[in-house]
Structure 1
């Protein structure tokens, strides 16, 4: 069994909906979070979901009463580094697949990630899309491992899509790095610190061929819905 941690504590202010962003309805009729859990539930791996909540947490907890929850009570004062830290600390020594609660994806993503999950290789899922200021960008070394990971990367190779995995052997290093992060850091800062300060390797797992969209703005939601309708 592998843990999956879903980061759903944020206020989602850029999308501008009254409910937590993971509860945003898609053209399929499912919410984003419901879509995530359905895809994971249909996968061959047995996942144990832990959802990190904060903003209007009761709405999420009522919608998914069978999941386990961790509460980031400082959701309005911290960023994803501290939400991920809470999730990793709550899942013992086991490996963790973690994702942002606003990522829309289907089985095509999991099929591309399966070899890395089977090998228990710590990775950040990435694509080769053109990127702007708001996307988390990345660069790699010649072996395809992450060297830079942030919104401020210059000449990024593409976007980190918000789905990631940490092996059991790398988990403690990531936890320690996240503890050192500033409250307003994104979790990507912790990944960079794990790489550069602790000497760990993080694979850039290319999922460019998969359906996987992080919904930050209304235009992202419409793009995701257009693909869902076409299918």
Structure 2
């Protein structure tokens, strides 16, 4: 299938303490975080998958490393959060559904293989891990029909964590764009999803990947954990 994918890589990543964008951090296997993302996307969806990367901080370093990708610029990368980066990307990707991921996620390539069925159904989803629920991570709850009800870092009684790999269907895309336009500059994109669920009736599946690995690299210890799962 030809799929539109987005990588959010505009942030400065100051918590990791690197001069380059986090997505260009080299892993133990010699690849950068973004390189393994590109390879995972191509493995699941073929060489014609369209990859659009949202860049901001030191954008030229990412563009030079991956000259064949498409790029959207978030010039306000130091004043905005992922909600506004995703908004820019969705506005640039036409009418179809979009798979997107945070640019700091090191993940098992089988996750995207598992996502194919939902994408073919054009079913919006967030990828989740039910094996742990940390206070500082984005958590979720489900409604009576098994779809996502709440999705934020402040969720009480969360049943798992969001991994940072998500899909918005073609039918839900307009509603999500409208909510991302509305949210605060410093909101995460999950706030837009929550509002689209509550106010637009967006139905978001929770795709469980607890048996596979996915590590968001925010701190040095996260990078160590990512390298361990790659070993």
**Per-residue deviation at 1:14?**
1.3
**Per-residue deviation at 1:133?**
2.6
1:80 alignment counterpart: 82
**Per-residue deviation at 1:142?**
3.0
SS of residue paired to 2:51: strand
Q: Distance in 1 between matches of 2:112 and 2:98?
A: 14
Q: Distance in 1 between matches of 2:105 and 2:60?
A: 21
Q: Distance in 1 between matches of 2:221 and 2:141?
A: 26
Q: Distance in 1 between matches of 2:213 and 2:202?
A: 29
**Per-residue deviation at 1:132?**
2.1
1:196 aligns with 2:198: yes
Alignment map for 1:104-183 (pairs within 5 Å) = 104-183=106-185
SS of residue paired to 1:168: coil
Task: Give CA-to-partner distance per residue, 1:112-142, whole Å, 9 cap, x none.
Answer: 2122112110000101032223211111113
Q: Distance in 2 between matches of 1:44 and 1:52?
A: 20
Q: Distance in 2 between matches of 1:166 and 1:121?
A: 7
1:40 aligns with 2:51: no
Q: Distance in 1 between matches of 2:127 and 2:177?
A: 19
**Per-residue deviation at 1:185?**
0.3
1:112/1:210 contact within 8 Å kept: no
1:22 aligns with 2:12: no
* Aligned length, in residue pairs: 229
Which stretch shifts more, 54-63 or 142-151?
Answer: 142-151
> TM-score by structure 1 length?
0.96
Task: Give CA-to-partner distance per residue, 1:183-202, whole Å, 9 cap, x none.
Answer: 00000000000000111111
1:124/1:164 contact within 8 Å kept: yes
Q: Distance in 2 between matches of 1:13 and 1:37?
A: 23
Unaligned runs of 5+ in 2: none
2:28/2:230 contact within 8 Å kept: yes
> TM-score by structure 2 length?
0.96
- Cα RMSD (Å) of the superposition? 1.0
2:72 alignment counterpart: 70
Q: Distance in 1 between matches of 2:160 and 2:203?
A: 19
Q: Distance in 2 between matches of 1:107 and 1:182?
A: 33
**Per-residue deviation at 1:160?**
0.2
Q: Distance in 2 between matches of 1:202 and 1:44?
A: 22
SS of residue paired to 1:174: helix
